[in-house]
Amino acid sequence: MYPFLPAQALDAAVRRSLVACFARHGAFSFRAAGVHAWPGVLYLRVDPTEPFEALVATLVSAFPGHPPNSGEFPYVPHVTIAEAPARSMTSLAPPRADVHGRADRILLIAEGADGRWRTRWQFPLRAVGGISA
């Protein structure tokens, strides 16, 4: 979910709230396919969308002042695969993409002073059906 909170606001209390939010949701399988684009972003749509929507709804409930896309656009469940200037998007797009995955944790990434995005923390989703996440 972007934007969320500035990196300097991700203190221990926020992280505890995130642990509680994500612990309410079980791990799930999904498929990401079909290359789509927004200005400067290539992404894959996901199926099913419901687990992603439920995660975002939980975050919005816990952090109502920080809706996805700053509340400017509706949330679209997706997996971002590239960010680049719009003119280079077509060269980045794979001819087709079909990825099957399992979400068992949430990665919180933040942009560093150097402009690079890095994983800061990982939050496990609840294990489902005796399968550990």
* 54-98: pLDDT as tens digits: 999 999 999 999 999 888 989 999 998 888 776 666 666 666 778
Total-model pTM? 0.84
pLDDT digits (tens, 9 = 90+) for 109-132: 988 889 888 999 999 999 876 554
Over residues 91-109, the mean pLDDT reads 84
Reference 131, options 101, 99, 104, 100; nearest CA is 104
Question: Any residues with CB less than 8 A from the CB of 14 and at least 6 apart, and which?
Answer: 5
Tokens of 62: 């816990």
Residue pair 51/103 in contact by the 8 Å Cβ criterion: yes
Beta bridge partners of 43: 36, 80
The structural domains of the chain, ordered by start, are 7-124 (3.90.1140.10)
Residue pair 121/7 in contact by the 8 Å Cβ criterion: no
Identify whether 77 is preceded by a cis peptide bond (ω within 30 of 0): no
